[in-house]
Structure 1
C-alpha cells in the first residue's frame, strides 16, 4: 500500500492536476512493486478512482510507465537543454556545467527511484530498460553531442564521433559516485562534491579533445 502524495482525487481536480497525481502515485507503485508486478488496476485502486478514468489519461501500462520515466528525467533534461542552447565557447566551463547539472539530476531522489525501478525490471522486462534509455541517457547524450560538435567546428578540431565523445564524458561524470549512491552505499553528495567531481572530469576531457 502506498501513501497518495496528493489530496487530489481523480474526480475532484483539473485535468493537469489529475495527470500529475496519476504520475506521482504510479511512480510510487512502480517503485515499490516493480514494473512487471504492477497492474493498471492496482494503480487505479491507489488513486481511488476507476480503471476507466485512468485509461482516459494513459491507454496502457507501457504508456503510463514511459510518462513516469519522462517525469523522472524531465527536470534533468530541461536543465541540460538550457545549457546546450547557450553560446559559450569555453569547452571546460561548458562541460563542467553540463556535468554538474547531469550528476545533480541523477542523484536527486526522483531520478534515483526511476533508476532503481528500471534496474530491477530490466532483465525480465527489457522494454522497460529500453524506454528508460530513450527517455533519459540517450537524450542527454544527444544534447551534449551537438554541443561538442559545435565546439569542435569552432576550433577546427576533428571530432569524428561527437555522440561517442558525449557518452564517454557522461560516463566519466557518473563514475563510481552515482553507482554508490544508487545502490545505497552512500548518501547523495552535496552540491560542492558534485561540482568538484564534474569539474575534474571536464578538465581532463576538455584538455584531451581541444587542447593544442
Structure 2
C-alpha cells in the first residue's frame, strides 16, 4: 500500500508528464505544475529539487518498460548469436532514438557541469544497460560463440557500432525519424563488424 508521500510523488509525476506534453520542457514551469497538483511549492521541491530533475524522472518512467523489453531481447539461450544481436540492435536503436530518450540526452548535455543529473542518468541508463550486455556477452563467450576478451570493452564497441550511423542525425535534430531502411541496414552492418572483430574464426 502506498504511503501518503508516495501517492503525492506519483501525482506530481502524472501532472508533470501532462504539463511537459502540453508545454514542452522550456515553457513548462514548476509553478504551473504546483498549481495543478495543489499544495505548496515546498512540498513539490522536497520531492524534486529542480524542473530538470522532475523532467528526467518523467522521461525515465515513460521509457522504463521499453528499456526492459529491449534488454530482454538479449536471450543467452538464442541459438544464432547474430540473430540475437540484430534483434536487440533494432530495439536498442528504437529506444535510443525515441523522443523521450533524445530529450533527456539533450538535457544532460545542457546541464553538464551544473548538476548531478548526468551521473544519475548514467547510473540508471547506460551503466545498467552495460551490465546486462556484459552478462549476455559473457554467456556467449562461455558457449564458444565469441572469443574471450575484455567484456566491458566488447560491450562498448557493440554499443558504439550500433549508434555510429544514427546518433548525429538525432542529436543535432537532422531527423525526426530515421530515413527508411537506415536502422535495419545500420544494425546489420554493426553486427557484422562486431562479429568479425570478436566472433570465433
What is the aligned-residue RMSD (CA, Å)? 3.1
The whole-number CA distance in structure 2 between the counterparts of 1:32 and 1:21 is: 18
Deviations 1:79-115 (A, max 9, x none): 2232134520322111111111111111111111111
Q: Which one of 177, 193, 200 corresponds to residue 166 of structure 2?
A: 177
Aligned to 1:187, the other structure's residue is in SS state: coil
The whole-number CA distance in structure 2 between the counterparts of 1:76 and 1:164 is: 25
The whole-number CA distance in structure 1 between the counterparts of 2:64 and 2:124 is: 9
**Per-residue deviation, 1:130:** 0.9
Q: Which one of 86, 92, 101 corresponds to residue 91 of structure 2?
A: 101
Q: Which one of 82, 96, 100 corresponds to residue 110 of structure 1?
A: 100
- Residue 201 of structure 1 pairs with residue 194 of structure 2: no
The whole-number CA distance in structure 2 between the counterparts of 1:190 and 1:19 is: 37
Q: Which one of 17, 27, 32 corresponds to residue 26 of structure 2?
A: 32
Query: Is 1:80–1:143's contact at 8 Å kept on the other side of the alignment?
Result: no
- Residue 88 of structure 1 pairs with residue 81 of structure 2: no
Q: Which runs of 5+ in 1 are unaligned?
A: 1-13
Within 5 Å, which residues of 2 pair with 1:43-122? 43-45=33-35, 47-50=36-39, 51=41, 54=44, 58=47, 60-61=49-50, 64=54, 67-85=57-75, 87-122=77-112
Q: Using structure 2 for the length normalisation, give the TM-score.
A: 0.78
Q: Using structure 1 for the length normalisation, give the TM-score.
A: 0.74
Q: Which runs of 5+ in 2 are unaligned?
A: 1-6
Q: Deviating runs (4+, > 6 A) in structure 1?
A: 14-17
Q: Residue 187 of structure 1 aligns with which residue?
A: 176
Alpha-carbon spacing, 1:63–1:118, altered in 2? closer, same or farther (3 Å)? closer
Paired residues, number:
192
